Amino acid sequence: MHGSQGRNTGLGLALVSAFAFGGSGVAAKPLIEAGLDPLHVVWLRVAGAALIMLPVVLRHRTLLLRRPAVLAGFGLLGVAGVQAFYFAAISRIPVGVAILVEFLGPALLLGWVRFVQRKAVSRAAAVGVVLAVGGMAAVVEVWSGLAFDPLGLALAFGAACCQVSYFVLADHGSDGEDAPDPVAVIAYGLLIGALVLTVTSRPWEMDWTVLTHRADMGEVSVPALLLVGWIVLVATVVAYLTGVLAVRRLSPQVAGVVACLEAVVGTILAWILLDEHLGVPQILGGVLVLAGAFVAQTAKKQAATTVVAGALPVDAATADADADGAQDKARLL
């Protein structure tokens, strides 16, 4: 779909996706505080979403045979890894801080490109990394010896690293005429992630009675099942599907900017609903992190455009362009 109507539709879908993803931590934390293990909450989210997306898996039955490594990576890292680390992190640190740490992903991805793949990155990209890292230093208040639980911060950083791994895998799985449908990749990722989490989280040991009670969301008490329903239907299924549809209608730059709203939404919702107030350093640092993520993504897009114009060999051009597309297809949290 082209033209202003297509862009407006894409922007609306991207906003819905960002708001849906941003609300996952706010809904999950009350369940964790009510007595559920973070891994059990992740299992409920992933298994429930996988069950809903099962018809898509059945429709694309041959995909697992064509791209087994990519799908396994998506399931292990992009689904199970990211969400397990993130939910474990919010059990120890504020939701806003955890999601801002996770948004170091674009900066870490550029580090992967520069130091692992040994490809040149632009000066603007380096500026983006500096902004993101500097902002994160302000968020965690490094001058005071870390203002938040070190293990919680490490878990959030683990989520960011898994997100980068997901992007790298998407780079290898999104090229060529045989590129898989991103909706099918998401469906398989959820299914594989659910199977892995079933083994690691042991849901049969979960305190299922928690789901029959109410959970405290700030000063309000809500049914636990309502929170589970929100996490599964809205923060996972709706968020993924609207994100994929939005990417198909927007440029990578616009999609990247809108995606940054996820961190803003998550922080504001945690402030309002969970009474998790952030100080001035965290707010200013968060602005720098998001600015760095935006600059990094913009710089990556510009680099790919320059390459396509003929500044670098064709194989490098293809790799950079694919990496851009991968970032926008792989909306996670």
Domain that holds residue 72: 3-329
| Burial environment of residue 33 by CB neighbours within 10 A (0 to 12, 13 to 18, 19 or more) | middle
Beta strand extents in the chain (DSSP E only): 214-217, 220-223
Q: What is the pLDDT of residues 2-45, one digit of tens each?
A: 556 767 787 888 888 888 988 999 999 999 999 999 999 999 99
pLDDT for residue 95 is more than 50: yes
Q: How many domains does the chain have?
A: 1
Residue 94 vs residue 229, higher pLDDT: 229
For all residues of the chain together, what is the average pLDDT?
Answer: 79
Q: Which residues contact 6 (CB under 8 A, 6 or more apart)?
A: 249
User: What mean pLDDT comes out for the span 194-208?
Assistant: 94
Tokens for 78, please give them.
Answer: 């992009």
In the structure, what pLDDT confidence band is assigned to residue 316 with cuts at 50, 70 and 90?
Answer: very low
pLDDT for residue 308 is more than 60: no
In the structure, what pLDDT confidence band is assigned to residue 107 with cuts at 50, 70 and 90?
Answer: confident
Render 234-278 in DSSP notation, one character per residue.
IIIIIHHHHHHHHHTTS-HHHHHHHHTHHHHHHHHHHHHHS----
Residue 96 vs residue 1, higher pLDDT: 96
User: What mean pLDDT comes out for the span 61-67?
Assistant: 86
Helix (H, G, I), strand (E, B) or coil at 9: helix
pLDDT for residue 67 is more than 90: no
